[in-house]
Chains A and B, each alone.
Chain A
Amino acid sequence: MVLPSLKLQDLIEQIRGAKTQAQEREVIQKECAHIRASFRDGDPLHRHRQLAKLLYVHMLGYPAHFGQMECLKLIASTRFTDKRVGYLGAMLLLDERQDAHLLITNSIKNDMSQGVPAVQGLALCTLSTMGSAEMCRDLASEVEKLLLQPSPYVRKKAVLTAVHMIRKVPELSSIFLPPCTQLLRERHHGILLGTVTLITELCERSPAALKHFRKMVPQLVQILRTLVTTGYSKEHSISGISDPFLQVQILRLLRILGRNHDESSDAMNDLLAQVATNTDTSRNAGNAVLFETVMTIMDIRSAAGLRVLAVNILGRFLLNSDKNIRYVALTSLLRLVQSDHSAVQRHRPTVVECLQEPDASLSRRALELSLALVNSSNVRAMMQELQTFLSSCPPDLRADCASGILLAAERFAPNKRWHIDTILRVLTMAGIYVRDDAVANLIQLIGGAQELHAYSVRRLYSALAEDISQQPTVQVATWCIGEYGDLLWEGSCEESEPLQVEEEEVLTLLERVLQSHLSLPATRGYALTALMKLSTRLRGDNNRIRQVVSVYGSCLDVELQQRAVEYNALFRKYDHMRAAILEKMPVVEPSGPQADEEAKESGEAVPSPSEPQASKLMDLLDLLDGSSGEAQQLPPMAPSPEDSLVHLLDLPCDPPAPACSSSAAHPAGAPPLPVDDGTRCLRPTRELLLSPTPAPIPNLRVFEREGLQINLSFVRPPETPSLLLITVTATNTSGGDVTHFICQAAVPKSFQLQLQPPSGDTVPAQGGLPMTQLLRILNPNKAPLRLKLRLTYTHFGQSVQEIFEVNNLPVETWQ
């Protein structure tokens, strides 16, 4: 028994009635099985209904390829219903990638040549939607014939089909060019519109066609003029504008014809002025026409007055309450800012206001345009606005804003101090978003401005003391302190507030940077080198520095280790050369007449002077030991998760593998743990520099037995208030090694605890290098911290296990 097939609407209802995805799939699969069977049996009466159902499920995302052949059958049928659905199916299921698509070529040909306009329309529509190049070649002459058909309905479709054919097979232009002259005399708006589109397409592809159609400029102008002045036809008007679609299309064609051609541009001047001044702008349709007019005016050789008029129209658009209008205005002004700079400058205040737009697409445009409008006379005011914007703009715009500001500052800085201040402010506000060479550029800039050394080092010292987490600022600051630290405690600087700084404070700060988990390996490198340089600039003795340098001689990070070892050598064997080597760097002169001029004119002066600086550093390392080593003097800020932790490891005698800092951070085959704070700094965080670093939390000695001591040190990174980092340090002053050392920790349920792999499991005797381990504790509820530790180890041949709760935890660890 054959069940009658479901009607389309019933199937749709059934599908919509399904409560779950699975149910829907079931219904559809069942129905598709029926459809397949029906196709197999070849039921001509209901085929169109079956295909319609198939097309519906296809739209829901289900496979429908088995309907392709049915489309062909339906198209070949004589019934209009069949053809309608069949052609629709062809457009949806048969694209030019399917081999089957060529099979409909014949049907299309037949349908185009038989006399029923509706059927011809279907064929043309399908051809213009999915016709492949091959099909177009086969059917070009048929379409050409249809251009002369009596029915305007068919003619208008034939013209647009010709457009599609030319897009697919440009050589067909030769067939479709001649009829255009006649077609342009048509009165039917649809045909006219299609013809204008066709001519546009022809002109865009062939200079010969362009030349040919320039002769028609007067005719086009006339058509447009008629539309604008007299042609109020209710049928074609939108909000009182006569056929805006046709107007826009004609304007676009005029743009192409008038480009780089004085004669044509002259011929359209008056009309463009007329349209620009008379179009009603109260509704979108009018604004659409006006917009196209402005684009045409700006693109052709128009009179100066007309250009100014056009830019002013865009300026008015900027004040329009409709967001869409403001958007196209900003986009267009951006396109014009190079060619008509002064005209666009006049609208600068409005553009700057648009920076406040809550809509991100608009504020992005406004940002691009604002940056393009910066010049030497408005640079201070603009930078002010842009920096305000930078502090509040959405994260995805920050990178562009920051680099835009830096570029503009480079080009137009009125003086060096302003330039340094600006870069510093940008680094502080958005350090993680700037390009890698911003640090290098700033360093080079400061280095070259001798009169500003004292000012720079003071400002940078204050910035660093406030916050050591913004890596670019930290890098520049440590470099500066290293170079010009002596200016901090000698002399005073009139340009900044008086600052009393003790040498010990400076050393402490640099050590903090060096030890901080927030510092990148590159930053640590800077800090170590800076400490080293200070050894020649201190008035007191160098013991503290020597200590630090010697400790880092066994640092796990290869780069730091190398530096420390070399600096150590400087202290021990080459002390007589130390002062000379660590002397202040000479002021770098950029290659060219005057530094200021160069900086203003182009940014190119900046990269070349950095080379002599780089080579000097290379010399420095060459002197220390023959190998050039991996000289990373101004290293990029590339994040590498594994490098971020520095473990003071009990390093065995065999040298570490070269450039393997990643593997070195995973001792004893411990599995790599997720990203540490080092890289966290590089992820965009909302809480930037605004909250100052809290005072450091005092260390705590928690355990002592027979010479083995366990110390805890605490860090609360400012940008993650719920995070507490505890470093467990185990030191051994006894005569015997402590081996197989394992430390475990437990916290209350509301906390999250993560133990990083320890630096090792042996704490060597006689004050050998301590073992460290990092604990990460997340305390989102700010509950009072409780910590229990369990230690197991072997000491003096005995295994020891100790479990205890840590008392006297400082309140700052959890509040």
Chain B
Amino acid sequence: MQFMLLFSRQGKLRLQKWYVPLSDKEKKKITRELVQTVLARKPKMCSFLEWRDLKIVYKRYASLYFCCAIEDQDNELITLEIIHRYVELLDKYFGSVCELDIIFNFEKAYFILDEFLLGGEVQETSKKNVLKAIEQADLLQEVTLRHA
């Protein structure tokens, strides 16, 4: 995976994870164009589109679009599963997650993503293990804060 973007129906960015080195300017340009392209898609259209030399896989969950850019040899259908798994993890962690949770706890959204994907690849296929890792890290954070 080259990058993952989460954005609202109004095009506001809620999360951006880049797995390739790009300048801030390029990231902004890509984000703007891609958001525009995806938002222009009609609801019944398929989840895949070609954009520049990448394959884009996107899915809308309530008011949030989850959008991944994968390479030519990557499997689109499994990418849909990756997106779905991430949403499930967020849902389990926040308890019926909604967009507001991700807005107000964006760092947590990043931490959870970083326990699921690493360097653009899936690192852990067990939901349980991912959530356990987050739990432990949160605990560690608690402890060190209390002792600060």
In the assembled complex, the CB of B93 is this many whole angstroms from the nearest CB of chain A, namely: 15
A327, B46: Cβ atoms closer than 8 Å = yes
Q: Which residues from A are CB-within-8-Å of B47? A: 323-324
Q: A39 near B: Cβ within 8 Å?
A: no
Q: Which residues from B are CB-within-8-Å of A128? A: 118-119
Q: B19 near A: Cβ within 8 Å?
A: yes
Smallest Cβ-Cβ distance to B46: which chain A residue: A323
Smallest Cβ-Cβ distance to B79: which chain A residue: A288
A288, B78: Cβ atoms closer than 8 Å = yes
A153, B133: Cβ atoms closer than 8 Å = yes
In the assembled complex, the CB of B78 is this many whole angstroms from the nearest CB of chain A, namely: 4
Binds B, one of A235-243, A258-266, A600-608, A654-662: A235-243
Q: Which residues from B are CB-within-8-Å of A88? A: 107, 110-111
A287, B21: Cβ atoms closer than 8 Å = no
A238 to B12, CA, bound (A): 31
Return the contact of A79 from the options B16, B18, B76, B144 (Cβ within 8 A). Answer: B144
Smallest Cβ-Cβ distance to A360: which chain B residue: B45
Q: With A45-B148, A95-B21 in contact, is A59–B137 under 8 Å at CB?
A: no
Q: B75 near A: Cβ within 8 Å?
A: yes
Residues A486-512 near B (CB distance < 8 A): none
Q: B122 near A: Cβ within 8 Å?
A: yes
A671 to B122, CA, bound (A): 62
B21, A97: Cβ atoms closer than 8 Å = yes
Q: Which residues from B are CB-within-8-Å of A785? A: none
Return the contact of B78 from the options A81, A121, A189, A245 (Cβ within 8 A). Answer: A245
Residues B131-148 near A (CB distance < 8 A): 133, 136-137, 140-141, 143-145, 148
A288 to B74, CA, bound (A): 11
Q: B9 near A: Cβ within 8 Å?
A: no
B141, A288: Cβ atoms closer than 8 Å = no
Q: Which residues from A are CB-within-8-Å of B107? A: 52, 55, 84-85, 88
Residues B78-97 near A (CB distance < 8 A): 78, 80-82, 85
Q: A157 near B: Cβ within 8 Å?
A: yes
In the assembled complex, the CB of A403 is this many whole angstroms from the nearest CB of chain B, namely: 19
Q: With A56-B106, A160-B123 in contact, is A84–B141 under 8 Å at CB?
A: yes
A59 to B128, CA, bound (A): 30
Return the contact of A325 from the options B45, B77, B118, B133 (Cβ within 8 A). Answer: B77
Binds B, one of A190-198, A713-721, A753-761, A804-812: A190-198
Q: Which residues from A are CB-within-8-Å of B110? A: 88
Return the contact of B118 from the options A16, A92, A161 (Cβ within 8 A). Answer: A161
In the assembled complex, the CB of A199 is this many whole angstroms from the nearest CB of chain B, namely: 13
A92 to B17, CA, bound (A): 8
B44, A359: Cβ atoms closer than 8 Å = yes
Chain A CB within 10 Å — which of B16, B21, B128, B133 has the most? B21
Q: Which residues from B are CB-within-8-Å of A125? A: 114, 118
Q: A9 near B: Cβ within 8 Å?
A: yes
B121, A163: Cβ atoms closer than 8 Å = yes
Interface size range on A against B:
35 or more
A190, B46: Cβ atoms closer than 8 Å = no
Residues B44-102 near A (CB distance < 8 A): 44-50, 73, 75-78, 80-82, 85
A324, B81: Cβ atoms closer than 8 Å = no
A361 to B45, CA, bound (A): 8
Q: A381 near B: Cβ within 8 Å?
A: no
A361, B125: Cβ atoms closer than 8 Å = no
Smallest Cβ-Cβ distance to B124: which chain A residue: A190
Smallest Cβ-Cβ distance to B141: which chain A residue: A81
A236 to B125, CA, bound (A): 6
Q: B23 near A: Cβ within 8 Å?
A: yes
Q: Which residues from A are CB-within-8-Å of B76? A: 324, 327-328
Q: Which residues from A are CB-within-8-Å of B28? A: 61
A97 to B24, CA, bound (A): 10
In the assembled complex, the CB of B131 is this many whole angstroms from the nearest CB of chain A, namely: 11
Q: Which residues from A are CB-within-8-Å of B36? A: none
Chain A CB within 10 Å — which of B28, B44, B47, B141 has the most? B141
Return the contact of A190 from the options B15, B19, B129 (Cβ within 8 A). Answer: B129
Return the contact of A291 from the options B12, B19, B75 (Cβ within 8 A). Answer: B75
Q: Which residues from A are CB-within-8-Å of B82? A: 245
Q: B34 near A: Cβ within 8 Å?
A: no
In the assembled complex, the CB of B51 is this many whole angstroms from the nearest CB of chain A, namely: 11
Q: A688 near B: Cβ within 8 Å?
A: no
A284, B77: Cβ atoms closer than 8 Å = yes
B13, A59: Cβ atoms closer than 8 Å = yes
A285, B118: Cβ atoms closer than 8 Å = no
Return the contact of B81 from the options A97, A160, A285 (Cβ within 8 A). Answer: A285
Q: With A80-B144, A359-B44 in contact, is A288–B125 under 8 Å at CB?
A: no
A361, B48: Cβ atoms closer than 8 Å = yes
Smallest Cβ-Cβ distance to B111: which chain A residue: A84
A157, B123: Cβ atoms closer than 8 Å = yes
Q: Which residues from B are CB-within-8-Å of A460? A: none
B126, A236: Cβ atoms closer than 8 Å = yes
Residues A368-388 near B (CB distance < 8 A): none
Q: Which residues from A are CB-within-8-Å of B13? A: 59-61
Q: Which residues from B are CB-within-8-Å of A593? A: none
Q: Which residues from B are CB-within-8-Å of A130? A: 21
Return the contact of A129 from the options B19, B45, B106, B141 (Cβ within 8 A). Answer: B19
Q: A326 near B: Cβ within 8 Å?
A: yes
Nearest 8 pairs of A and B residues by beta carbon: A288-B77, A128-B119, A323-B46, A164-B119, A160-B118, A288-B78, A190-B124, A80-B144
16 CB contacts below 8 A, A to B, read: A52-B107, A59-B106, A79-B145, A95-B23, A118-B136, A160-B119, A161-B118, A190-B124, A190-B125, A193-B122, A197-B121, A246-B125, A248-B75, A249-B122, A323-B45, A361-B46
Q: A129-B119, A194-B121 are in contact. List 18 more A-B contacts (CB 8 A).
A: A12-B104, A16-B103, A80-B140, A88-B111, A97-B23, A125-B118, A128-B118, A129-B18, A156-B123, A161-B119, A193-B121, A193-B123, A193-B125, A235-B129, A246-B125, A292-B78, A324-B47, A327-B76
Please list the residues of chain B having a beta carbon within 8 angstroms of any beta carbon in chain A: 12-19, 21-23, 28, 44-50, 73, 75-78, 80-82, 85, 103-104, 106-107, 110-111, 114, 118-119, 121-129, 133, 136-137, 140-141, 143-145, 148
